C-alpha cells in the first residue's frame, strides 16, 4: 500500500474514567495509587472530581460519551448518592448517552440495597475482583473476602437487576497450583459472568511482593507454568462460550468492554481523580497524555483552588509515536489491526516502512503474527509474545 492522508477524525468517542482511591487495606501486589484510611471523604472527593471535570471538559467537547467507568481503589465503597452525583454531572456535561456505566467492587463490599441504589442511578455493569476461589490463596494475596463471598456477590447483583456482571481472576500466584487455577476457572464459569478478565500476577518493584521476590521468598510459579495456566484459561473459557477478544479479556457475544476497548483503539478518554490518566488525540496525528498527582492531599488541594485543575504530568506524543502505539494496542485484540482503517486514520499502512515489514516477516516466521492484505493480528501463540512483537514492530 502507498501512504495516504488521514481522512477520519482523530477520535470518534469519549470514555470518562473516575479513580476512587480509597481502600480498606493495600494488597501486597498492588502498585496503584490508593489511600487506606478509616474514614472516606465521600462528598469532598465527589466535589473535587466534579470541579476537575468542569475545568477540563472543554478539551473533550464534541465527542460522544459512550462509557463511564468508576475504578480504583475500591469504588464499591463510595456512598451511592455521592457516586451518583458525579455520574449525573458527567452525563450532563458531555453529549451522548453512555452505553456502559461500570463500578468496580470487591466481593462482600456491596450489600443488595447498595447494589439496587447503584442500578437505580444508571449503573449497568458491575465488576468484581474475585481473583481466586481458594481461601488460602486469597489470604496469601491480601484479599479480605472469602471464596464464598464471590457467588454471594453475584447473586446479590443479579437480584438487584444487573444483567452485566463481570469478574477478574489472577493466575501465577504464589503457591497456586494448576489444580487451583482449574478449579477457579470452573467455579467462575458456573456463575455465568458476562465478562471475565484473566491475567497473570505482575510483581511490581515498589510493593511487598516486589520485596519478597527480590529475596527469593515469594514462591511464585515458574514462567513455563504461568504460560501453561494462560493456555488452560484460554481453552477453558473459549470452550465455555466466551470470546477471547483481547489478551486478558473474554466476553459473551455482544459484551465486550466498551470502556477498555477505547484504550486499545486509542480513542479519547478523560481521567478524573487522584492519579487518573487521560489521552486526547489531536488532528495532526499527535496526542497528549496526562496523569494527575498520586498524592490525595495534592490532588484535593489543587482542585480546590482556581481554576480547579490539578498539576498533571503531560506527555506529548508525536504522530509517529501515536501510530506506533496504535499498532501495539490494536494487536492486543483478537481482531488485530485493519490495514486500510489504520492507513485512513494514521496516514500510512502499518507495514509501510521496510524496517517494520522486515520485523513483521520475522514475527510471521516465528509463528507469532498473521499478516494478510487486509489485516495484521497475533496468532494464538503470539498472544504469549505480544510485548516482544510490539518491541520488534516499533519504529523507534
Over residues 296-310, the pLDDT tens digits come to 999 999 999 888 899
Spatial CB neighbours of 39, under 8 Å, sequence gap ≥ 6: none
What angle (nearest 5°) sits at the alpha carbon of residue 78, between those of residues 91 and 95? 5
Q: What does the pLDDT read at residue 2?
A: 36
Cis, bond preceding 187 (omega within 30 deg of 0): no
Gap between the terminal Cα atoms of the chain: 21
User: Can you tell me the mean pLDDT for 179-185?
Assistant: 98
Q: Give the position of cell 509501510.
A: 352
Q: What does the pLDDT read at residue 7?
A: 37
> 214-238: string of b/e by CB count within 10 Å (b at 16+)?
eeeebebbeeebbeebbebbbebbe
Q: What does the pLDDT read at residue 314?
A: 95
Confidence of residue 259 (pLDDT cuts 50, 70, 90): very high
Q: What does the pLDDT read at residue 271?
A: 98
| Domain residue ranges in the chain | 14-262, 336-396
Q: Give the position of cell 466466551.
A: 242
User: Can you tell me the mean pLDDT for 326-348?
Assistant: 95
Query: Average pLDDT over the chain, rounded to whole?
Result: 94
Q: Is residue 9 scored above 70 in pLDDT?
A: no
Cis, bond preceding 248 (omega within 30 deg of 0): no
Q: Is residue 180 within 8 Å of 67, Cβ to Cβ?
A: no
Q: What does the pLDDT read at residue 87?
A: 98
Q: Is residue 394 scored above 90 in pLDDT?
A: no
d(CA 356, CA 345): 18
Lowest mean pLDDT among 8-17, 36-45, 213-222, 330-339: 8-17
User: Can you tell me the mean pLDDT for 370-389?
Assistant: 95
Classified as helix, coil or strand, 120 is helix
Q: What's the chain's Rg over C-alpha atoms? A: 21
> 82-109: string of b/e by CB count within 10 Å (b at 16+)?
bbbbbbebbbebbeeebebbbbbbbbbb
Q: Is residue 323 scored above 50 in pLDDT?
A: yes
DSSP string, 315-348: EEEPHHHHHHHHHHHHTTBTT-EEHHHHHHHHSS
- What is the DSSP pairing of strand 14-20 with strand 65-72? parallel
The CATH number of the structural domain formed by 14-262 is 3.20.20.70
Q: Is residue 369 scored above 90 in pLDDT?
A: yes
Q: What does the pLDDT read at residue 8?
A: 40
- What is the tens place of the pLDDT at every residue in 122-181? 999 999 999 999 999 999 999 999 999 999 999 999 999 999 999 999 999 999 999 999
- What is the tens place of the pLDDT at every residue in 44-80? 999 999 999 999 999 999 999 999 999 999 999 999 9
Q: What does the pLDDT read at residue 94?
A: 97
Classified as helix, coil or strand, 180 is helix
Q: What does the pLDDT read at residue 1?
A: 35
Confidence of residue 5 (pLDDT cuts 50, 70, 90): very low
111 beta partners: none
Q: What does the pLDDT read at residue 141?
A: 96
Q: Is residue 351 within 8 Å of 376, Cβ to Cβ?
A: yes
Q: Is residue 371 within 8 Å of 364, Cβ to Cβ?
A: yes
d(CA 1, CA 122): 46
User: Can you tell me the mean pLDDT for 345-370?
Assistant: 95
DSSP string, 346-359: HSS-TT-SHHHHHH
User: Can you tell me the mean pLDDT for 238-267?
Assistant: 97
d(CA 252, CA 242): 5
User: Can you tell me the mean pLDDT for 262-288?
Assistant: 95
Confidence of residue 12 (pLDDT cuts 50, 70, 90): confident
Q: What is the DSSP letter of 388?
A: H
Amino acid at each position: 500500500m502507498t501512504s495516504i492522508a488521514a481522512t477520519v477524525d482523530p477520535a470518534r468517542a469519549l470514555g470518562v474514567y473516575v479513580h476512587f482511591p480509597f481502600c480498606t487495606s493495600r494488597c501486597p501486589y498492588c502498585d496503584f495509587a490508593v489511600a487506606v484510611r478509616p474514614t472516606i471523604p465521600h462528598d469532598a472527593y465527589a466535589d473535587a472530581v466534579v470541579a476537575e471535570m468542569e475545568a477540563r471538559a472543554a478539551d473533550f467537547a464534541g465527542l460522544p460519551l459512550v462509557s463511564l467507568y468508576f475504578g480504583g481503589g475500591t469504588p464499591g465503597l463510595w456512598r451511592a448518592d455521592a457516586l451518583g452525583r458525579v455520574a449525573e454531572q458527567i452525563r450532563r456535561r458531555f453529549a451522548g448517552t453512555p452505553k456502559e456505566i461500570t463500578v468496580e467492587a470487591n466481593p462482600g463490599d456491596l450489600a443488595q440495597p447498595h447494589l439496587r441504589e447503584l442500578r437505580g442511578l444508571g449503573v449497568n455493569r458491575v465488576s468484581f475482583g474475585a481473583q481466586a476461589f481458594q481461601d488460602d490463596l486469597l489470604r496469601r494475596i491480601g484479599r479480605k473476602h472469602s471464596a464464598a463471598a464471590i457467588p454471594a456477590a453475584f447473586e446479590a447483583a443479579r437480584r438487584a437487576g444487573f444483567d452485566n456482571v463481570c469478574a477478574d481472576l489472577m493466575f501465577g500466584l504464589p503457591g497456586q497450583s494448576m489444580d487451583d487455577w482449574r478449579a477457579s476457572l470452573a467455579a467462575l464459569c458456573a456463575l455465568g459472568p458476562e465478562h471475565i478478565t484473566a491475567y497473570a500476577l505482575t510483581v511490581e518493584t515498589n510493593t511487598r511482593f516486589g520485596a519478597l521476590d527480590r529475596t527469593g521468598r515469594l514462591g511464585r510459579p515458574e514462567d513455563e507454568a504461568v504460560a501453561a495456566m494462560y493456555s488452560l484459561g484460554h481453552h477453558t473459557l473459549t470452550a465455555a462460550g466466551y470470546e477471547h477478544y483481547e489478551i486478558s479479556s473474554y466476553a459473551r457475544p455482544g459484551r465486550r468492554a466498551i470502556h477498555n476497548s477505547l484504550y486499545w483503539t486509542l480513542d479519547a478518554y478523560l481521567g478524573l481523580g487522584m492519579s487518573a490518566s487521560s489521552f486526547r488525540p489531536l488532528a495532526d496525528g499527535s496526542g497528549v497524555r496526562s496523569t494527575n498527582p498520586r498524592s490525595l492531599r495534592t490532588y484535593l488541594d489543587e482542585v480546590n483552588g482556581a481554576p480547579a485543575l490539578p498539576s498533571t504530568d503531560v506527555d506529548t506524543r508525536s504522530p509517529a509515536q501515536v501510530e506506533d502505539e496504535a499498532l501495539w494496542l490494536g494487536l492486543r485484540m483478537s481482531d488485530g489491526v485493519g490495514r486500510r482503517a489504520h492507513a485512513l486514520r494514521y496516514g500510512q499502512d502499518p507495514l509501510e516502512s521496510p524496517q517494520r515489514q522486515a520485523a513483521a516477516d520475522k514475527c510471521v516466521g516465528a509463528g507469532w503474527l498473521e499478516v494478510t492484505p487486509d489485516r495484521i493480528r497475533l496468532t494464538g501463540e503470539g498472544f504469549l509474545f505480544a510485548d516482544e512483537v510490539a518491541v520488534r514492530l516499533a519504529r523507534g
